[in-house]
Amino acid sequence: MNEIEKKYSAIDASCRVPLLVLFGVASVWLIVGLVLAIIASLTFHKPELFGNCPFLTYGRVQPAANDAIVYGFAIPAALGVILWIFARLSESELLLPLLPIVAANIWLLGVLIGVVAILIGDSTGFTWLEFPRAGSILLFAAFLLIAISAVATFGARQERVLQPPHWFLLAALFWFPWIYSTANLFLVAWPVRGVAQAVINWWYSNNLIFVWLALVGLGVAFYLLPKIAQRPLQSRYFALFGFWTFILFAPWLGIPQSAPVPAWLAAASTVASLLMVIPLIAIAIVFVSAVRGVNVQCKGGPYCYARIATIFFLLSAVMLLVTGEPGVGNILGMTWYMPAQTYLQIFGFFAIAIFGAAYDALPGVMSFELPFPGFVRWQNRIFLLGLLLLVLPLAIGGIGQGLKMQNPAISWHEITQGMLIYLRFSSAGLLVLLLGSVLFALNIFVMTAKWQLQLAKSLAASFAGSFEAEEVKS
């Protein structure tokens, strides 16, 4: 092991416990979230199933599943990856490592409170913001604690010039506290009046699901692609341009064309969706120049993950942007096409980018190989199959639903019946994604157990050692 490798292995090792805790929390909630999503989708197979059980009725389980996946899985996993990337880019060990460990436990409690509250009927009623006050306060505090550790590590960097992943990930650290506090203050703590609530809710949803996930996912992809290919990002200026234009335009998306609000709001979203073509082209150029001419045998490993994730991001962004055009938006709005786009954004783009980073980080961080290295490639394939079964039917069904809604001669009953077959396919997609997630969790938990065993052994050895030393002395 040469000097550089030694240095990085010390950096990786400093992230060990925070990453294990954050990934552990994330993988548990991913499984819980997908199980809840499957329970929700059972309604489309047998609607009367949970008629006597208020906790499992569709309207409660569906938001609980969404929140478990985004707040339980996506955010803690993202924070873990951000800590690791910042430590490596700074060439510094993780600073204040106790903060993320404590914060991950607070986060876990916050999500637990939130999900249980939704199931017992204490949801706030706002999309993506269903957790009641007690849960949100814990999440907010925990996020800040982890951000402090991340920013401290960032400040300790050796090379002062910022790298592209720095821009995206720093912006993400700043973004979430702002949107989360605004949404909670204006909607839950001191609710504003009338449909202003709905506008703020759409602003928050878009900034969380589209913008925040994109900032993290792209930051991760733009870290992994050059790292694994072992050559710097080729088009740094396009990346910079793409970053600035993205954060300038993307927060203006998300107001549906049909909304019963002043027309200028939806018009602003339309203009933004047009302008968003600029950052998308820039990001596509960065991506192509990063992967072109690179001789990496990715074999279903982290490089594949980063590549697939970026492609899915471009796809999901295009799916979203077309709905900004009023004609298209009026057909596709309020249909299953919209959830299909959200699923692609979360599972196709974001989750795959995060899994790639986790699989790239873990062997170094733990200083032993993954217990099931074959699962990496399998999970990749399983996720692609799951996405195919989940997103494609919902998108196609949604387009059909939207076109049928334009024709009042087709009865509403016929429209919902026509959607059923697509919804049933999507349940199968969720099931397949659950299988892939179990593979991820198995790697995480067997690793954690192995590490704990090692720790216990070395503790026992040092204890025995000191005992022997005592004997020699006497």
Partner 1 sequence: MKTGLRVFLGAFVALGFSWLGFVLGPVLQLGTQGQTTVLNSSQIYPNQRPGAATLGLQVYRANGCAACHTTQIRQDGVVCDVALTSAGSNPSAVNELVASLTLTNLTKPEADLVSGKISAAGGKTETQIVPIGADISRPGWGLRHSVAEDFLWDNPVQLGNVRVGPDLSNVGLRYGETWELAHLYAPASESKTSTMPPFRYLFTLQKIGATPSPDALQLPAGFAPAAGYEVVPTEDAKNLAAYLLSLRADVALHDAPFSTASAPAGGAQKK
**Under rule CB under 8 A, which residues in 71-110 are in contact with partner 1?**
none
Binding to partner 1 in span 117-136, by CB under 8 A = 118, 121-127
Closer by beta carbon to partner 1, 156 or else 435: 156
Closer by beta carbon to partner 1, 258 or else 454: 258
What single letter denotes the amino acid at residue 472? V
**Minimum gap (Å) between residue 196 Cβ and partner 1:** 4
- Of 84, 238, 252, 349, which one interacts with partner 1 (CB under 8 A)? 252
And the tokens for 33? Answer: 């979230």
Q: Residue 15 is inside which H or E element, if any?
A: none
* Helices (H), ranges, 157-235: 164-183, 196-205, 213-229
Check: CB of residue 26 under 8 Å from CB of residue 77: yes
* Eight-state DSSP code of residue 39: H
**Minimum gap (Å) between residue 197 Cβ and partner 1:** 4
- Of 29, 186, 210, 241, which one interacts with partner 1 (CB under 8 A)? 186
**Minimum gap (Å) between residue 104 Cβ and partner 1:** 24
**Minimum gap (Å) between residue 374 Cβ and partner 1:** 38
Other Cβ atoms less than 10 A from the Cβ of 280: the count is 19
- Of 107, 180, 336, 355, which one interacts with partner 1 (CB under 8 A)? 336
Check: CB of residue 353 under 8 Å from CB of residue 221: yes
- Of 203, 287, 350, 359, which one interacts with partner 1 (CB under 8 A)? 203
Check: CB of residue 106 under 8 Å from CB of residue 100: no
Name the residue among 8, 213, 160, 195 with its Cα closest to residue 92.
8
**Could you tell me which residues come within 8 angstroms of residue 383 by beta carbon, excluding any fewer than 6 positions away?**
347, 351, 352, 355, 433, 436
Q: Does 58 bind partner 1 (CB under 8 A)?
A: yes
Binding to partner 1 in span 343-402, by CB under 8 A = 401
**Minimum gap (Å) between residue 304 Cβ and partner 1:** 29
Binding to partner 1 in span 394-433, by CB under 8 A = 401, 405-409, 412-413, 416-417, 420
Other Cβ atoms less than 10 A from the Cβ of 154: the count is 23
Other Cβ atoms less than 10 A from the Cβ of 110: the count is 24
Part in contact with partner 1 (CB under 8 A); list of ranges 49-57, 103-111, 136-144, 378-386: 49-57
- Of 268, 278, 428, 438, which one interacts with partner 1 (CB under 8 A)? 268
Check: CB of residue 300 under 8 Å from CB of residue 380: yes
The count of chain residues that interact with partner 1, using the rule CB under 8 A, is 86
Q: Could you give the CA distance from residue 302 to residue 229 in angstroms, rounded to a whole number?
A: 11
Closer by beta carbon to partner 1, 44 or else 451: 44
* Helices (H), ranges, 323-373: 326-332, 337-343, 352-366
Part in contact with partner 1 (CB under 8 A); list of ranges 5-13, 139-147, 256-264, 309-317: 256-264
- Of 27, 43, 426, 437, which one interacts with partner 1 (CB under 8 A)? 43
- Of 37, 214, 255, 430, which one interacts with partner 1 (CB under 8 A)? 255
- Of 13, 35, 38, 49, which one interacts with partner 1 (CB under 8 A)? 49
Q: Could you give the CA distance from residue 258 to residue 241 in angstroms, rounded to a whole number?
A: 32
Q: Does 194 bind partner 1 (CB under 8 A)?
A: yes
Q: Could you give the CA distance from residue 416 to residue 58 in angstroms, rounded to a whole number?
A: 16
Q: Does 150 bind partner 1 (CB under 8 A)?
A: no
Closer by beta carbon to partner 1, 121 or else 374: 121
Q: Could you give the CA distance from residue 209 to residue 237 in angstroms, rounded to a whole number?
A: 26
- Tell me the HSE value of 410 on the side-chain side, using a 13 A CA sphere: 13
What is the phi-psi region of residue 405: left when phi exceeds 0, alpha when psi lies from -120 to 50, beta otherwise? Answer: alpha
Check: CB of residue 461 under 8 Å from CB of residue 394: no
* Eight-state DSSP code of residue 95: S
- Of 131, 175, 223, 349, which one interacts with partner 1 (CB under 8 A)? 175
- Of 3, 51, 292, 473, which one interacts with partner 1 (CB under 8 A)? 51
Binding to partner 1 in span 153-172, by CB under 8 A = 154-155, 160-162, 166-167, 170-171
**Minimum gap (Å) between residue 422 Cβ and partner 1:** 12
Name the residue among 75, 120, 151, 101 with its Cα closest to residue 346.
75
Binding to partner 1 in span 291-330, by CB under 8 A = 330
**Minimum gap (Å) between residue 236 Cβ and partner 1:** 10
